[in-house]
Amino acid sequence: MTLILVRHAQSESNASGLFTGSMNVALTDLGRRQAQALAGRLASLPIAAVYASGLQRAQDTARPTAERFGLDVTVVEALREAGLGEAEGRSWAEVRERWTLGTDARWADEVPGAERGDDVRARVSAGIDALMERHRDELVLCVSHAGTITHALQHVLGLTLEQGVRLSVQQAAFNVIEWSTRGLVLTAFNDRCHLDDVTG
């Protein structure tokens, strides 16, 4: 089984440097071009299913690829970005000024109303394992979010929240997870060659 895990393309909040979390925001013009470029890159692959978070930016990134294959975009709750509570809609500088942030995957635990890191990890890990089990002999696309993908990759690499390294998950880049006799293996990280001709 092969799972292509993609961060959504550039959103309006990404462009303005704001935390988004569970907020619904649209893609920018650049983001829409990135989504089309992604669809072109994946067009020759035997994609059996397309999954995405229920948030608009993930849906809009997944849709061009799904349409190429005549597939629907199926919402998976486990792929949703972590809710960031009172940090949503604020800049990094403002969030750092207001709250003391941790250095591991529990970084937002001090933010009022934010989803706890342990809960995000449990949700994401269970979701990834379920998809891998459901599609053991297939290739599927999952469009998600930076925080969610970071948890998924740390899960694949066997890292605890305390061990979790900070990963810079790029917009519209894809990461490939494969099932092998050794279990889950990360075989590609931040592949964004399809974006070389996209301006921005």
Q: Is 81 a catalytic residue?
A: yes
DSSP assignment of 124-186, as one string?
HHHHHHHHHHHTTTSEEEEEE-HHHHHHHHHHHTT--TTTPPP--PPTT-EEEEEEETTEEEE
Helix axes 146-156, 117-134, angle to 10 degrees: 70
Given 81, 88, 115, 194, which residue is catalytic?
81
Given 8, 151, 155, 194, which residue is catalytic?
8
Q: Is 12 a catalytic residue?
A: no
CA distance to 42, 84, 197, per residue, from 48 (Å):
12, 32, 27
Q: What residues are labeled active site?
A: 8, 81
